[in-house]
Amino acid sequence: MFSSKALRSYLHLHFLVLIWGFTAIVGLLVSISPVSLVLYRTLFAAIGLGAIIAVRQKSFKTNPTDLFRMLVVGFILSAHWMLFFASARVSTASVCLAGMATTSLWTSLIEPIVNKRKVRPLEVGLGILAFAGLYVVFRFEFDHALGLMLALFSALLAACFTVANSRLVQRIDAYVITFYEMIGATFFSLVFLAISKWQNWTGTAQAGGAPFIPSGNDWIWILFLALICTVYASTMATQLMKQFSAYLINLTINLEPVYGIALAFFFLGEKERMTEEFYLGTLLILLAVLLYPILVNTVLNGKKPEVAD
């Protein structure tokens, strides 16, 4: 089903999802607000990517249309991360990661519209299966309505981001794409932060009232988010879009709550302890992820999985 090269790429994708599973925990370990965290993350990521592109002597040139598109995708990415970190702050890392597991369901609806093809019942069905696993795992957390709502909107934006990137990467270098998207995300974060301060959108430390200037270990976690989770992970994920469909990538990202909650239990202790429902729901999510390449290969008119050798 997978060639050895494609299998290595698929395992690499899972490693990237493991890294992303840690980001919700980082959002709880820093003292600054979600908007400030996204601003610093994207700013340092843009600087890091710019340095890599310069050292590798790649070209920063792009046509105005693609530049505009990448900046807009950066706006979307920035909003996605703000909602993601805000969800973890107002609820728990578990609820935040649970909402993100719906990304594949959103993608199954968005990708056909963008690529002008029919919606595949198989993709929708597997997305619903993943959502069923999400419900089983977190049915006792549905009292965290605000956190779950923020996470669901974040997942919707993540789906839009991935579908847009899957088209851009076909003709533009992955590093260049991520560089300009980080610039767009930095600009959007800065503008949003300025407006929030101007309008006095303050609140608890979990929302907008947290400090703007990082302190102590904040800088370590910010650099981890910028260099490892963004420069490395996001660029590699964008590169992998040349081999995998946006739907397969987002379906694999459904494992983010599985990896993330296991890491949360290790770093945050008993309050993130997993229940029996977690394992049952995890099984459903894993089933959706693992069934996708098999069913694509055997059900969709005998076509091969959406990977390249």
Assigned token pair, 292: 């996708």
205-254 per-position pLDDT tens digit: 344 456 778 888 899 999 999 999 888 887 788 788 778 876 677 677 76
Q: What is the pLDDT of residue 187?
A: 96
Looking at residue 299, its pLDDT comes to 64
pTM: 0.80
At 307 the pLDDT is: 43
Two tokens, residue 55 = 């050292």
Ranges under pLDDT 50 in the chain: 1, 202-208, 301, 303-309
Q: What is the pLDDT of residue 79?
A: 95
